[in-house]
Copies of this chain bind each other. A is one copy, B any other.
Amino acid sequence: MEEIRSKDNALVKELVKLGSSRKYRREEGRFLLEGARLCGDAVKNGVVPQIGLLTEKAMERYPQAREILACCRRGILISDGVAQKLSDTQSPQGVFCVCEIPPQSLTLSPTGRYLAMCSLQDPGNVGTILRTAEALGIDGIVATADCPDFYSPKVLRAAMGGVLRMPFTLVQDGLEAVDTLRAAGLRVYAAALSDTAVEITRLSLGAGCAMAIGNEGNGLPPQVVERCDAAAIIPMAGGAESLNAATAAALCIWEMVRR
């Protein structure tokens, strides 16, 4: 099997860039996936990675290591030092795959349930929301282009595979997100803190609707809220601070799927 032991190897440098640069990922049309679980799930779901990179320790430790390697077009044994260089974590598992970015795949249905993510900032939040969206079973996500890249290491990790399984599409901004959803015949609600917002449990959030959520610090821009069918608020207790963005999104998603 091919081996790379030097951190100065040209491919290693390329893959580090793939992990750190959104622009480079777009140009190359591929991304770096890390972790035994994530890589194992990807190949189980039919992904054929261009390259699989594993350490000797990972080959011994993870039962799925051989299956991952068998599914990759090219397999490379890497040293612990190279794994550390490629990794986004402090204690890397030593399992990496280079995968093609699939074409965007969201088809909106007028009876579906969708989430619009507008100008979120934190990759951990975005990943957690993708994980929740998949687990609770909504039909897709519309995200503005200024959200953290779904194929960045932090989003991929927090999403626990949700990036690879959740249909999504990117749009320019919040207004385009709302217009796209409404054009598909969906009711669109803005998650907002405004005084005129309706308590979320008072809205009919079943099939054929979407919730738009905004930036962690600033929420949705007023013009986006106005473009929605109504603004929804999660009622909170008196002296309370606020909800974490991923928690607020989870409650919005839950209210769309709750039976």
Contact = CB atoms under 8 A, between A and B. Distances in A.
Interface stretch (A10-18, A97-105, A127-135, A144-152): A127-135
A240 B128 contact: no
A14 to B, nearest CB: 27
B128 A244 contact: yes
A118 interface: no
A105 to B, nearest CB: 15
Interface string A109-125: 00000000000000000
Identical chains in the assembly:
2
A81 to B, nearest CB: 24
Interface stretch (A70-78, A159-167, A179-187): A159-167
B201 A236 contact: no
A161 B241 contact: yes
Interface in A224-244: 234-244
Given A41-B241, A165-B239, 16 more contacts: A128-B247, A131-B241, A132-B244, A132-B247, A134-B241, A136-B234, A136-B236, A137-B237, A161-B241, A199-B259, A201-B258, A201-B259, A235-B259, A247-B250, A250-B250, A254-B254
Q: Which 6 A-B pairs have the closest CB atoms?
A: A137-B237, A135-B240, A247-B250, A160-B241, A135-B243, A135-B236
